[in-house]
Structure 1
Amino acid sequence: MKRKFLSPPVLLLLPAMIIIAAVVLVPLLLSLYTSFTPFKLTRPDTLYRWIGVRNYMRLFEDYYFWAAFLRTFVVLTIALNVEMLLGLGLAVLVNKAVSGQRALRTIMMFPMMFSPILVGFQFKFMFNDTVGLVNNALQSMGMERVIPWLVDEHLALFSILTAEIWSSTSVFAILILAGLMAIPRDPLEAARVDGCTPWQTFRHITLPYLMPFMFIAMTIRSLDIARAYDIVQIMTAGGPARRTELLWTMISRSGYVDANMGLANAMAYISILLSIFFTFYFFRKLMAARRYMGGAQ
């Protein structure tokens, strides 16, 4: 009898499948298991105690967790909308440039090239109370009072949002610019012949063509902001008094500072649900925009 071997495609994919299982699948299943245990890094024996959904029930009663959850949602909503509007404006301006468009596109990509840690240090220095660039500029214009940007709870969140928006607006700008360059000329020429104003042309022709590109950018950025950690940790470390703490800074503190890894993993899986929700929402919007464009064509 002939021995049955794995097919050549399976054999070729087997090393990649083993690596993915070792690097992604096994840690994912282990973290899911530990979210149902009271596992502490300082007490390895707690890994084998099963407590069911007690960690999740504890989180539902935790004020600080829901405050961080709501704060993450607010930051995500504000950042996405501001980045989309600024990116749209930048893309339109660059697209209308007669000369030097390649140089402008390169300059527009610069913020994306900086790591979030470096951006956090940059803006932490800029918003510093005493030697910061922002306070020094305001004082040179006549303001005598020192503004505590990173100490006041509202101003600290504003500072984090400023850093986040500065570093990632170019994602929207580049994708929207790609959409502007891909728009067919015929509908624009037809609108011009029919006497449409520039606003009417933009509202009814250009913007619908750009919506798929905007939703792609929103999907990418929603995943980034939902797991935001680096900039917040560098600039405020969740302070003052945990008033700028987002989900992933709280997860990090619970897991690695308080050593409560079981509770931290439960938080992480709730955060993943938030990410899945936004991804699914923007994916549906993207599909609707593509169907609209298909019908329009």
Structure 2
Amino acid sequence: MKFPRPSAPTLLLLPAFIVLAAVVVVPLLLSLWSSFTPFRLTKPDSIWIFVGLRNYANLLSDWEFWVAFGRTVLLLTVALNLEMLLGLGLAVLVEKASRGQRVLRTIMMFPMMFSPILVGFQFKFMFNDNIGLVNNALQALGLTDRAIPWLIDGNLAFIAILVAEVWLSTAVFAIFILAGLMAMPREPMEAARVDGCTPWQTFRYVTWPFVMPFAFIAMTIRSLDIARAYDIVKIMTDGGPAKRTELLWTLIARTGYADSRMGMANAMSYFAIILSIVFTFYFFRKLAAARQQIGAEW
């Protein structure tokens, strides 16, 4: 039996498919298999011991895991809302600028040029108890007479991480919303002014419904980033103090590499993937609804 000869495009793409399978598909399948085993890095042979859903069942009663899960959802929710509000404000200000708009857009994108690791080091220095810029500024302004333990107190450390995340990624929302503002037709704005609408009413009922899909696209992208947040937390607090800033992926890394429980770590990872899928599905539903609303009204 003769097999058909592969076409030229197939032969040209074959090396890319092989590399993709080697670096993506095979590790993904291996991690999925190990999540059903008691695999430990110190006991390589344990990867062949199948224990079914035991790792996943243990997660259901693991209080530490669910605390990290809830803290990740809290960070995601608060960060997304703050980034959207600040990004909306930046986008409106830049769109209203009559001069230097290109320069302002470049400056607005500046934080995105830094890697999360560099931002983590930057904010770790800024929130340092003794030599940090934040404490020095507060003391110089007379707002406090002592150093605030930003990275030692659990609640303050969470706020410091939140500030770093918001500073790094507010530009994502600003860029998408600015693109929506610049693509928006002017006729509905002029009609609203003629009808006597106030600036707030014009924004609430004309501008915001049009730019809402752009905001949901940014939310989808950022929800995936925050759901797997690791770099900034690792550098600034390493999940401390006393695991008060432990997020899903810092817990997964500690479980897999520090405790050598790679099977359990991979089970946690697939739970984290479910979180990402849920938020992505939610924002895609919102995006579809916003597009339908625009299509009906415009």
Could you tell me the TM-score, scaled by structure 1's length? 0.98
Distance 2:3 2:53 in 1: 47
Q: Counterpart of 1:236?
A: 237
What is the aligned length? 297
Task: Show structure 1 runs of 5+ residues with no match.
Answer: none
Distance 1:261 1:33 in 2: 11
Q: Counterpart of 2:153?
A: 152
CA shift, 1:3, in A, is: 5.6
Quickly say closer, same or farther: Cα 1:135–1:3, change in 2 above 3 A. Answer: closer
The correspondence of residues 29-178 of structure 1 with structure 2, limited to 5 A, is: 29-142=29-142, 143-178=144-179
The correspondence of residues 169-188 of structure 1 with structure 2, limited to 5 A, is: 169-188=170-189
Distance 2:212 2:246 in 1: 32
CA shift, 1:23, in A, is: 1.2
Residue identity in the other structure for 2:289: A
Match of 1:282, SS state, is: helix
Superposed CA deviations along residues 71-109 of structure 1, whole A, max 9, x for unmatched, are 000000000000000000000001000100000000000
Residue identity in the other structure for 1:88: L
Task: Answer with 210-219 or 184-193: which moved more.
Answer: 184-193
Q: Counterpart of 1:11?
A: 11
Quickly say closer, same or farther: Cα 1:3–1:126, change in 2 above 3 A. Answer: closer
Distance 2:271 2:157 in 1: 25
Distance 1:20 1:274 in 2: 25
Task: Show structure 2 runs of 5+ residues with no match.
Answer: none
Distance 1:4 1:130 in 2: 72
Q: Counterpart of 2:250?
A: 249
Residue identity in the other structure for 1:22: A
Superposed CA deviations along residues 28-64 of structure 1, whole A, max 9, x for unmatched, are 0100000000111111110110111111111111111
Task: Answer with 173-182 or 7-16: which moved more.
Answer: 7-16
CA shift, 1:295, in A, is: 1.2
Quickly say closer, same or farther: Cα 1:74–1:3, change in 2 above 3 A. Answer: closer
Is it true that 1:266 corresponds to 2:267 in the alignment?
yes
Match of 2:55, SS state, is: helix
Distance 1:86 1:289 in 2: 21
Distance 2:255 2:25 in 1: 23
Residue identity in the other structure for 2:222: R
Distance 1:141 1:174 in 2: 34
Match of 1:130, SS state, is: coil
CA shift, 1:2, in A, is: 7.2
Superposed CA deviations along residues 107-126 of structure 1, whole A, max 9, x for unmatched, are 00000000000000000000
Distance 2:118 2:277 in 1: 28
Is it true that 1:214 corresponds to 2:215 in the alignment?
yes
Match of 1:42, SS state, is: coil
Distance 1:285 1:12 in 2: 40
CA shift, 1:16, in A, is: 2.2
Could you tell me the TM-score, scaled by structure 2's length? 0.97
Distance 2:292 2:150 in 1: 45
Q: CA RMSD in A?
A: 1.1
Distance 1:34 1:216 in 2: 34
Residue identity in the other structure for 1:115: S
Residue identity in the other structure for 2:10: V
Distance 1:195 1:236 in 2: 53
